[in-house]
Amino acid sequence: MSTNHTYYTLRGELALVLAVIINSLGVVLMLHSGSGISAISSVPYAFSEVFPTLTLGTWTYIFQGLLIAILMIMRKRFVISYLFSFVVGFFFGIMIDIHEMWITLLPTTLPLRILYFVISYFVISLGIAISNRCQMPIIPTDLFPREFSEITAIRYSRVKISFDVLCLLITACMTFAFLGHIRGLGIGTIFAAFTMGKCIGIIGEKLDKKLCFVSFLSKHQTA
């Protein structure tokens, strides 16, 4: 490491807990802002609207299980760490339901809605950037673009944007087909889908200049 910079060490376990809490908050806060659901949760949101018997959190970890299955098919082997990722995703889904219990207490004036969107956008970007570096299993919706990028050798930002846009298309088609109109998608959702991959990359580069993540799995993972 260069002596021109001061690096701080952060435990990956703590970083993962932080990422799960702030990412789930960001998802719910973006929806509460009225600008639309975040792309990573748009598909589970569509299912929760069409089939409301299950909560958004429950549909979230069902969707994440599907992503894990796709990654294993691409790897052509059983990957233990992906199962741990699913466990993290399970708690992420629970946190979404917990945040939904209190988020409606926040006032929803127009200026505050704009503020909620801005906060949620950067909170989700920060959470994903931390997840990608914490040296721990991460939620499948964050894991999928990273692993897909590694498997296919396509730049992460490009994979992330493509993944988000595909999620939005599925959500739009599904809600329109079953509900008669598109639900859950707004200008904020579209903006985030096309720009968040780049924002995550920028935040990640800044984190790399200041933070070093270590965990009990560090020896088994690349930096």
Domain parsing of the chain, residue ranges: 8-212
Return the higher-pLDDT residue of 139 and 107: 107
Residue 221 has a pLDDT of 47
Q: What digits encode the pLDDT tens for the residues 15-67?
A: 989 999 999 999 899 989 998 888 878 999 999 999 999 998 899 989 999 99
Global confidence as pTM: 0.79
Q: 5: pLDDT confidence band, cut at 50, 70 and 90?
A: low
Q: What digits encode the pLDDT tens for the residues 186-219?
A: 888 888 878 888 898 899 899 888 888 887 766 5
Q: Report the amino acid identity of residue 184.
A: G
Q: How far apart are CA 113 and CA 117, in angstroms?
A: 6
For residue 56, the surrounding DSSP H or E stretch is helix 56-75
Q: How far apart are CA 81 and CA 62, in angstroms?
A: 18
Return the higher-pLDDT residue of 117 and 139: 117
Average pLDDT for residues 151-176, to the nearest whole number? 90
**pLDDT of residue 107 exceeding 80:** yes
Q: Among 129, 148, 138, which residue's Cα sits nearest to residue 92?
A: 138
